[in-house]
């Protein structure tokens, strides 16, 4: 989708885990493109045995759909990073709806994802990279992630991009774990 596409559904639905079928509000922000149910279901089937106790980083969090799904399915902690203040605020509100004590299992950083990676010293087991389509942010984020301390040994990196876009250059030591396409979305999981 292009940056001008608006989210028409105004909600996301948690697919599985403790909050299965729970609907949560999403802002009608220009450029906001929540990962579809179909893509999330496929991704989290791939991650079935990886989530319990995992520390996750949801960069370009947008609606927070990926990080919220990870929490629902047993992730220990999710760090959301979102530049757009209203979207970050909506993620915080959704966390407050779902969690008695959100501070212990999630945090929302309002700011630039690339700058966040450059300052990061905490290692994560799973990183979600789903920047706005039609930008260079994916390439910049991969470079910043590869040059940061944000990946634990054997971490998984999820990349979602427009199916018509060229595949980004990846670090040599990242190996493809799984990949698929759904409509205009191409997505892949790598072991770093």
Is residue 12 scored above 80 in pLDDT?
A: yes
Confidence label for 3 from pLDDT (cuts 50, 70 and 90): very low
Tens-digit pLDDT profile for residues 42-79: 999 999 999 999 999 999 999 999 999 999 999 999 99
Per-residue pLDDT, 2: 32
Average pLDDT of the chain, as a whole number: 92
* Averaged pLDDT, 158-170: 94
Identify which has the larger pLDDT, 8 or 69. Answer: 69
Confidence label for 102 from pLDDT (cuts 50, 70 and 90): low
Q: What is the pTM of this model?
A: 0.92
Confidence label for 7 from pLDDT (cuts 50, 70 and 90): very low
Cβ count within 10 A of residue 101: 8
Strand order from edge to edge, sheet including 106-110: 106-110, 77-82, 55-59, 124-129, 151-162, 185-191, 175-182
CA distances to 62, 135, 167 from 163, rounded to whole Å, are 19, 14, 9
Confidence label for 6 from pLDDT (cuts 50, 70 and 90): very low
End-to-end CA distance of the chain: 28
**Phi, psi for residue 179 in degrees, rounded to 5:** -155, 155
Q: 11-191 sits in which CATH class?
A: alpha beta
Per-residue pLDDT, 27: 83
Question: Tokens 């089937």 belong to which residue?
Answer: 45
Q: Map out the domains of the chain as residue ranges.
A: 11-191
Geometric angle at alpha carbon 111, from 51 and 187, rounded to 5°: 45
d(CA 16, CA 33): 20
HEC readout, the chain: CCCCCECCCCEEECCCCCCCCCEEECCCCECCCCCCHHHHHHHHHHCCCCCCCCEEEEECCCCCHHHHHHHHCCCCEEEEEECCHHHHHHHHHHHHHHCCCHHHHEEEEECCHHHHHHHCCCCEEEEEECCCCCCCHHHHHHHHHHCCCCEEEEEEEEEEEECCCCCCCCCCCCEEEEEEEECCEEEEEEEC
What percent of the chain has a predicted confidence (pLDDT) above 90? 81
């Amino acid at each position: 989708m292009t940056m001008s596409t608006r989210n028409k559904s105004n909600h996301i639905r948690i697919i599985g885990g403790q909050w299965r079928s729970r609907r949560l509000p999403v802002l009608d922000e220009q450029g906001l493109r929540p990962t579809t149910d179909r893509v999330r279901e496929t991704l989290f089937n791939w991650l079935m045995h990886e989530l319990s106790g995992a520390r996750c980083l949801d960069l370009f969090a947008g609606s927070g759909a990926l990080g919220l799904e990870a929490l629902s399915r047993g992730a220990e902690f999710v760090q959301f990073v979102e530049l757009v203040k209203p979207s970050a605020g909506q993620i915080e509100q959704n966390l407050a709806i779902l969690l008695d004590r959100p501070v212990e299992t999630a945090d929302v950083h309002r700011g630039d994802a690339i700058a966040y990676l450059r300052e990061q010293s905490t290692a994560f087991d799973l990183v979600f990279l789903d920047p706005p389509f039609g930008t260079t942010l994916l390439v910049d984020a991969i470079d910043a992630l590869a040059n940061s301390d944000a990946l634990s040994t054997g971490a998984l990196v999820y990349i979602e991009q427009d199916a018509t876009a060229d595949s980004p250059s990846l670090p040599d030591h990242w190996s493809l774990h799984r990949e698929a396409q759904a409509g205009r979305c191409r997505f892949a999981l790598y072991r770093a």
